[in-house]
Amino acid sequence: MIDKVTPHITQNEPLLFERSSPGKKAYQLPELDVPEVDAAEALGAENVRAEIAGFPEVSEVEAIRHFTRLSTWNFAIDYGMYPLGSCTMKYNPRINEQAARTEGLAWAHPYQPEALAQGCLEVMATLEAALAEITGMDAVTLQPAAGAHGELTGILLIRALLEKRGNPRKKILIPDSAHGTNPATAAIAGYAIENIKSSETGVLDVAALEQIVNEDVAALMVTNPNTLGVFENNIAHAAEILHGKGAMLYMDGANMNALVGIARPGDFGVDVMHLNLHKTFSTPHGGGGPGAGPVAVKKVLEPFLPAPRLKKSGKRWAWDYRRKHSIGRVKAFYGNFGVLIRALAYILAHGGPGLRNATMDAVLNAVYIRKRLEAYFDLPYQSPNMHEVVFSDDRQAAKGVRTGDFAKRLIDYGFHPYTVSFPLIVHGAMMIEPTETEGKREIDQFIDAMISIAKEVETDPQLVKTAPHLTRASRVDETTAARKPILRWKPA
């Protein structure tokens, strides 16, 4: 309809290919003032194409408008609250961006000689030290490119240590509340997986753990607070049980937003863990990367860390490649450097007390949401929650409305959906993580939207089941849309 009224503002942006007309250009070059070189001669005929089939030809303004219009179709953290649980979608302060764009850092080359890269090495060394302090661990590698990559690195470190002790062992224990990347990591590292059921209060069942830990168990992988948003208050005891049998404790640190400045995994028995800099330490994510998943370890695992390691000789930083027990490189060069700068800027801008405040606000916000929504939604685990809260769609399901329907309706209210159907141990999960960056006004609007939709479920469930109604595209088949996307707009 809108297209008919104002046809120049198309609500259904065509593909750039569809906008193309032959001969249009988005650039203008001055006349050549050097001798012309024949491309085929210079590059070899086999490397030169006569034309690029179907290459779109558009003007500069068409290209700019196309991408700007498309960008308005997206939801973004700069646009509104993004309560996607387990993801810590917090606002990324612009000062981080400014730091990452500092000329000497942004234009540094990884092959630059050490003598000319001292500033970059200092940035990395400072970040390693800050993360070691925050986690209470002894050493940190910045190489892994994401959380899952950090997990794999961490489990390979455990394998290397156990192998050196004579037996890599066979199994990794994983609670039923774990993120899917945990079992995937264990399997790729060559381990069998044994599941541990959570207790009724939603935490690790230590009695069950004690029963199954034996000389076949290499490690327990646990997220703390776990994916129910509940702090594993038996974690130190679990560590003792594992260590008593020569096994290790791996902590998935994706939920460190609930702990930074308050509790240190190194103090409650964790041997190795990863951090998601793109979650806890405020670097942009959600668009597919880049991220960073540094791994922090206790001293026993330090010799196995990926090479090279930063080492200070005299007043200068240098890379140490001669590490005979190292598991080797896990990433080209030294990790996603731009992400590392953003994380360090965030840490230094906050300082210790600021980081601690952020954690307390993150927890306060989630507890506030829980308190105001408890009357409207089923809360399967009653344990106190930390930085996120997991409801289920039990009450709404009675009217035929499931968590996915509810989430779609939230889009009409201007919010990004919460996490749908995860963790798997909660049937019809609605997992909400506000983070510390939301103020009370925005959070109240979100809560009001949730309550308003809960009321719609009572009066007009069909409205919710067919949402969203205010977006350009309504319901799509999610599997087909991902596997066989239809990108072309066909006018009706």
Ligand X SMILES: *Cc1c(COP(=O)(O)O)cnc(C)c1O
* Paired residues of 173 in beta bridges: 194, 220
Q: Indicate the pairing of strand 316-320 with strand 419-420.
A: unpaired
Neighbours of 180 (CB within 10 A): 11
Cβ pair 163, 194 in contact under 8 A: no
144's tokens: 């892994």
Least separation in angstroms between CB 179 and ligand X: 3
Instruction: Return the residues of window 97-116 that contact ligand X according to CB under 6 A.
Output: none
Q: Indicate the pairing of strand 309-313 with strand 316-320.
A: antiparallel
> Residue 295: enclosing H or E segment and its boundaries?
strand 295-297
Q: Phi then psi for 426, rounded to 5 degrees?
A: -105, 115
Size of the site for ligand X (CB under 6 A): 13
Under the binding rule (CB under 6 A), the answer on residue 276 touching ligand X is yes
Q: Which residues contact 188 (CB under 8 A, 6 or more apart)?
A: 152
Under the binding rule (CB under 6 A), the answer on residue 86 touching ligand X is yes
Least separation in angstroms between CB 490 and ligand X: 35
Least separation in angstroms between CB 423 and ligand X: 9
Least separation in angstroms between CB 439 and ligand X: 24
> What's the Rg (C-alpha) of the chain?
26
Nearer to ligand X, 146 or 464 (CB): 146
Nearer to ligand X, 340 or 457 (CB): 340
| Separation CA 394–CA 430 (nearest Å) | 10
Under the binding rule (CB under 6 A), the answer on residue 252 touching ligand X is yes
Under the binding rule (CB under 6 A), the answer on residue 148 touching ligand X is yes
Which of the stretches 21-29, 68-76, 145-153, 230-238 binds ligand X when contact is defined by CB under 6 A? Answer: 145-153
Among 222, 241, 254, 420, binds ligand X (CB under 6 A): 254
436's tokens: 């510390």
Nearer to ligand X, 254 or 355 (CB): 254
Least separation in angstroms between CB 329 and ligand X: 18
| Matching residue, tokens 């106190």 | 384
Q: Which residue is nearest to ligand X (CB)?
A: 147
| Separation CA 93–CA 96 (nearest Å) | 6
470's tokens: 């205010």
| Separation CA 310–CA 141 (nearest Å) | 9
Q: Which residues contact 14 (CB under 8 A, 6 or more apart)?
A: 488, 489
Which of the stretches 61-69, 146-154, 197-205, 238-246 binds ligand X when contact is defined by CB under 6 A? Answer: 146-154
Least separation in angstroms between CB 313 and ligand X: 33
Nearer to ligand X, 185 or 396 (CB): 185
Least separation in angstroms between CB 460 and ligand X: 34
* Paired residues of 204 in beta bridges: 198
Least separation in angstroms between CB 163 and ligand X: 25
Under the binding rule (CB under 6 A), the answer on residue 291 touching ligand X is yes
Which of the stretches 51-59, 68-76, 143-151, 319-327 binds ligand X when contact is defined by CB under 6 A? Answer: 143-151
Least separation in angstroms between CB 468 and ligand X: 25
Nearer to ligand X, 179 or 298 (CB): 179
Per-residue x/- track, 364-393, ligand X (CB under 6 A): ------------------------------
343's tokens: 């994380």
Q: Indicate the pairing of strand 295-297 with strand 272-274.
A: antiparallel
Under the binding rule (CB under 6 A), the answer on residue 426 touching ligand X is no
DSSP secondary structure code for residue 32 in this structure: P
Of the CA atoms within 13 Å of residue 55, those in its CB half-sphere come to: 9
Instruction: Return the residues of window 7-66 that contact ligand X according to CB under 6 A.
Output: none
Among 179, 298, 399, 402, binds ligand X (CB under 6 A): 179
Q: Which residues contact 473 (CB under 8 A, 6 or more apart)?
A: none
Least separation in angstroms between CB 101 and ligand X: 23
Instruction: Return the residues of window 211-250 that contact ligand X according to CB under 6 A.
Output: 223, 227
Sites of contact with ligand X (CB under 6 A) = 86, 146-148, 179, 181, 223, 227, 252, 254, 276, 291, 293
